């Protein structure tokens, strides 16, 4: 095998042919090339043509070879020179291999336009998509077992004779159908094979008396074993024993077989064959982008070799490593993908930090005096984070910071102290909340904090939400434009482009656990003078740090990892439907102590009406049970004034019980409320439950949270148990991740914000994420526009598409 890659060989041949073409084209001006060169060219071409190649490339190279053979060096011909140059041209430009890899799947034999369309619907459009569609697992068919040894829950390969074939009528999902089934076995045992579709075609192969080689996962069915949609192959009658069969050259048996999640309606074997075809002809065209030093340091295989290793596994592979996506070949491809991701993040970050910003004089004393005037002392974590933020505000490039802190860790105070520092220098701060209710709540909290701190906190605070009277909105807007407001709290209205600030210096988004990528983007728009405001994103979503670094890759991270002192953990109780009496008892206890109660209902859009109805019924039932207490109901369909009133009354203790849909999920802060009943707890995400529960852990008395589970599954009970086990938001997030899987957990968060990952998994590959990030940041520091590696820049662009603006780059 030659040590040269296909790219290197083609490049070498291309250079030499170009010399020859020049000579043919204008022999008078160009000396005749060294005959040794001509010999080398033809050898190189032979070597390349010995490889498996894409059809187009092969044709072009064969034509070149023919033209070269036809030439007579003593009598150069300009027309031949032209032809050579034309044929060569596409191979000289950069990116010829990318063009071939970007071809539609119809370039493969066996894929017509119709099938290609089916693939495209699954995201398999180009040859390269197919190459990077890695097997989801591997099936070990190196061992052929006997029917009697089949184990439920395991995959196996075995030989059996067809004893019975049968069609069984069924009704699945209201549709009539027929299951094709066969009983196969040997002298010792039998097992049933079932196909819910495609039986007609199979019936031609699965015939009584024939011997089949069967592979698939063994399942239990009542008291026997069965395989659903196994892969089968008819074994020739005189084929000897199974063991020899295993050693035969049958492609899919006697080895470890990659298993793909193939598009619906495609036979797995066909799919495997197509991928194999693509790998054979195209894998060598794929280039890696990782810096050579990293590849050497980690001893990684080349990308084409990795693709071959994964799609056409060798029989002696380490199957455990393969199953865990941890083989060296996996590592290479995972790192390649993460590297492109991290390069994009590093570039975005570099761009952000190089924009013009507004520096404030952070050394002024106002923020510190305001902190001293607060009714409590800042925690160490709060002090650290305030300093991190003030340091950023003093720089003339925009801050881009994420503040992560569990519910109740005291993020609001941080926002206020930053706003004080900004106001001291004559600037304005905008604080955006995800809901009106939360904006209103923030507004009240900020007002009372300012009031408590008195003269030390001379903040002029305003509220801007859509449901305020028109005149008020108008007045507030002009106050903002005149610079008469220092800190404005609001909803997305703040960033809809119509609000004019006199001197917006700091934009804060309080996302809680919602993710408003759009709003976040809008908040980072430039000011009229072309400079960019500082940006702070506050979130209570506890996601593992390494993950946060990527999901919010271009942001710097501050973490509030300490709760204010004196917090008692919230006691969490899990109750099932039918334990309503116990719930009533807990409510009675709480009211008896003069404390207040939240009852929370989920409000899911599809069933909004129904859930609202059950919230109404429940509030009536509770009101009947506690006639001497006032029960209020808040939900999303109330207008702002009514909602406001209800919250106000609950806050002041007018009402004792607040029944609410999740509109209160974030932000409400009533320290006398010590019991929270959450209905249909199974419908909430753990992070959400954790947030809700945080609402009753505020005062010194400690709170209680009752999770009422209705019609739950085993999985949801397991999830909810995690809520009882710990109060640490990060642990809860980990549990949620483990149970739900990263797809669910990250799905909405990633979408639109980051390019989709096809191979790497931010959770599974945490360590590699860190490796890729380090290398990517170093690379961008050396070469911010990636001008030294144009192929890599193209790959980053392709990967990120519109999500990243690299227009100012290379
Ligand atoms: P978060 O937004 O992080 O969930 P908040 O900012 O709403 O938390 O703070 C929760 C409660 O803790 C508020 O009542 C706030 O006044 C209070 N608080 C914040 N910091 C401290 C502190 N250092 N000591 C005591 N109480 C604090
Ligand atoms: Mg908060």
Between CA 504 and CA 481 the distance in angstroms is: 10
Q: Which of 634, 631, 702, 630 is nearest to 673 (CA)?
A: 702
Mapping DSSP onto H, E and C, the string for 501-545 reads: CCCEEEEEEEEECCCCHHHHHHHCCCCCCCCECEEEEEECCCCCH
Protein residue with its CA nearest to atom 15 in ligand 1: 410
- The answer to whether the beta carbons of residues 795 and 289 sit under 8 Å apart is yes
- The answer to whether the beta carbons of residues 598 and 658 sit under 8 Å apart is yes
CA of 412 to the centre of ligand 2 (A): 6
Q: Is the CB of 409 under 6 A from ligand 1?
A: yes
Q: Tell how far CA 793 is from the center of its chain.
A: 22
Between CA 157 and CA 617 the distance in angstroms is: 58
Residue in 377, 412, 453 to alter for ligand 1 test, most ligand atoms within 8 A of Cβ: 412
pLDDT value at 144 more than 60: yes
For the CA of 562, the nearest ligand: 1
pLDDT higher at 783 or 806: 783
Entry pTM:
0.68
Residue 483 makes CB contacts below 8 A (sequence gap 6+) with: 426, 428, 502, 503
Q: Is the CB of 408 under 6 A from ligand 1?
A: yes
Protein residue with its CA nearest to atom 19 in ligand 1: 410
pLDDT value at 224 more than 90: no
User: For 147-161, 536-550, 608-622, 630-644, which range has the lowest pLDDT when averaged over its residues?
Assistant: 536-550
For the CA of 691, the nearest ligand: 1
pLDDT value at 254 more than 90: no
pLDDT value at 686 more than 70: yes
Between CA 227 and CA 179 the distance in angstroms is: 13
Is 351 strand, coil or helix?
A: helix
| pLDDT at residue number 34 | 86
Alpha-helical runs (H) found in 605-668: 608-625, 640-651
pLDDT value at 499 more than 80: yes
Q: Render pLDDT for 373-416 as a digit per residue (tens, 0 to 9).
A: 999 999 999 999 999 999 999 999 999 888 988 878 899 999 99
pLDDT value at 243 more than 80: no
Between CA 727 and CA 669 the distance in angstroms is: 18
| pLDDT at residue number 249 | 42
Between CA 381 and CA 402 the distance in angstroms is: 15
Q: Render pLDDT for 529-544 as a digit per residue (tens, 0 to 9).
A: 999 999 998 887 666 6
| pLDDT at residue number 12 | 87
Q: DSSP assignment, residue 357?
A: B
Residue 698 makes CB contacts below 8 A (sequence gap 6+) with: 408, 567, 669, 670, 671, 673
**pLDDT above 90 covers what percent of the chain?**
41
Q: Render pLDDT for 752-761 as a digit per residue (tens, 0 to 9).
A: 566 778 898 8
- Highest-confidence segment of 186-200, 246-260, 641-655, 775-789: 775-789
Q: Is the CB of 413 under 6 A from ligand 1?
A: yes
pLDDT value at 563 more than 60: yes
- Residue 19's CB is within 10 A of a number of other CB atoms, namely 16
Q: Render pLDDT for 77-128 as a digit per residue (tens, 0 to 9).
A: 889 999 999 999 888 877 888 889 999 999 998 899 998 998 888 889 999 9
What value does the mean pLDDT take over residues 147-165? Answer: 90
pLDDT value at 242 more than 50: no
């Amino acid at each position: 095998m030659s040590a040269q890659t296909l790219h290197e060989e083609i490049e070498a041949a291309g250079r030499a042919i170009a010399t020859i073409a020049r000579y043919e084209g204008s022999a008078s001006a160009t000396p005749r090339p060294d005959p040794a060169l001509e010999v080398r060219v033809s050898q190189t071409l032979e070597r390349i043509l010995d490889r498996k190649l894409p059809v187009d490339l092969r044709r072009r190279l064969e034509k070149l070879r023919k033209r070269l053979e036809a030439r007579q060096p003593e009598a150069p011909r300009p027309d031949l020179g032209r032809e050579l140059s034309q044929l060569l041209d596409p191979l000289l430009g950069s990116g010829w291999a990318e063009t071939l890899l970007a071809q539609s799947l119809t370039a493969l034999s066996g894929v017509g336009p119709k099938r290609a369309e089916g693939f495209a619907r699954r995201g398999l459009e180009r040859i390269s998509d197919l190459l990077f569609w890695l097997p989801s697992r591997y099936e070990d068919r190196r061992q052929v077992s006997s029917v009697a040894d089949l184990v439920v829950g395991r995959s196996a390969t075995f030989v059996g004779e067809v004893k019975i074939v049968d069609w069984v009528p069924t009704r699945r999902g209201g549709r009539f159908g027929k299951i094709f089934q066969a009983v196969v076995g040997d002298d010792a045992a039998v097992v049933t094979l079932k196909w819910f579709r495609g039986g007609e075609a199979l019936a031609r192969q699965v015939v009584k008396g024939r011997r089949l080689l069967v592979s698939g996962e063994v399942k239990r069915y009542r008291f026997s074993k069965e395989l659903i949609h196994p892969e089968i192959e008819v074994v020739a009658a005189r084929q000897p024993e199974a063991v020899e069969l295993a050693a035969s050259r049958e492609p899919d048996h006697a080895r470890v077989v990659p298993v793909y999640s193939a598009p619906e309606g495609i036979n797995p074997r066909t799919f495997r064959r197509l991928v194999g075809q693509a790998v054979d002809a195209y894998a060598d065209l794929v280039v890696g982008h990782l810096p050579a030093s990293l590849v050497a340091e980690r001893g990684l295989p080349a990308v084409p070799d990795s693709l071959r290793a994964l799609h056409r596994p060798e029989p002696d592979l380490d199957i455990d490593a393969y199953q865990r996506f941890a083989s060296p070949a996996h590592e290479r491809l995972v790192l390649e993908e993460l590297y492109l991701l991290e390069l994009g993040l590093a570039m975005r970050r570099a761009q952000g930090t190089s924009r013009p910003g507004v520096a404030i004089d952070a050394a002024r004393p106002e923020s510190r005096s305001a902190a001293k005037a607060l009714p409590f002392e800042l925690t160490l974590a709060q002090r650290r984070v305030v300093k991190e933020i003030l340091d950023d505000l003093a720089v003339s490039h925009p801050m881009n910071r994420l503040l992560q802190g569990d519910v109740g860790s005291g993020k609001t105070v941080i926002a206020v102290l930053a706003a004080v520092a900004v106001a001291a220098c004559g600037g304005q701060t905008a604080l955006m909340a995800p809901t009106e209710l939360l904006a209103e709540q923030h507004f009240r909290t900020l007002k009372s904090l300012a009031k408590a701190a008195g003269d030390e906190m001379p903040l002029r605070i305003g509220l801007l939400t859509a449901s305020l009277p028109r005149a008020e909105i108008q007045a507030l807007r002009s106050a903002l434009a005149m610079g008469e407001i220092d800190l404005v709290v609001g909803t997305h209205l703040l960033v809809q482009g119509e609000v004019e600030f006199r001197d917006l210096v700091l934009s804060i988004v309080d996302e809680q656990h919602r993710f408003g990528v759009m709003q976040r983007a809008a908040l980072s728009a430039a000011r009229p003078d072309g400079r960019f405001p500082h940006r702070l994103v506050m979130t209570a979503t506890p996601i593992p740090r390494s993950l946060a670094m990527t999901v919010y890759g271009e942001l710097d991270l501050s973490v509030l990892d300490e709760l204010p002192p004196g917090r008692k953990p919230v006691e969490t109780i899990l109750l099932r439907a039918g334990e309503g009496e116990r719930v009533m008892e807990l409510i009675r206890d709480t009211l008896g102590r003069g404390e207040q109660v939240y009852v929370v209902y989920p409000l899911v859009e599809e069933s909004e009406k129904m859930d609202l109805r059950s919230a109404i019924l429940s509030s009536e039932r509770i009101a009947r049970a506690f006639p001497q207490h006032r029960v209020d109901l808040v939900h999303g369909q109330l207008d702002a004034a009514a909602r406001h009133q209800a919250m106000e009354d609950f806050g002041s203790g007018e009402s004792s019980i607040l029944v609410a849909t999740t509109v209160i999920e974030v932000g409400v802060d009533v320290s006398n409320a010590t019991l929270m009943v959450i209905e249909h707890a199974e419908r909430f995400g753990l992070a959400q439950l954790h947030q809700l529960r945080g609402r009753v852990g505020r005062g010194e008395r400690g709170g209680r949270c009752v999770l009422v589970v209705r019609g739950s599954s085993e999985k949801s009970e397991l999830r909810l148990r995690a809520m009882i086990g710990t109060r640490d938001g990060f642990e809860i997030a980990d549990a949620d991740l483990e149970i739900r899987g990263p797809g669910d957990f990250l799905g909405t968060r990633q979408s639109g914000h980051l390019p989709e990952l096809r191979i790497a998994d931010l959770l599974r590959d945490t360590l590699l994420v860190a490796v890729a990030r380090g290398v990517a940041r170093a690379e961008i520091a050396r070469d911010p526009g990636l001008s030294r590696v144009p192929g890599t820049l193209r790959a980053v662009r392709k990967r990120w598409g519109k999500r990243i603006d690299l227009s100012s780059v290379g």
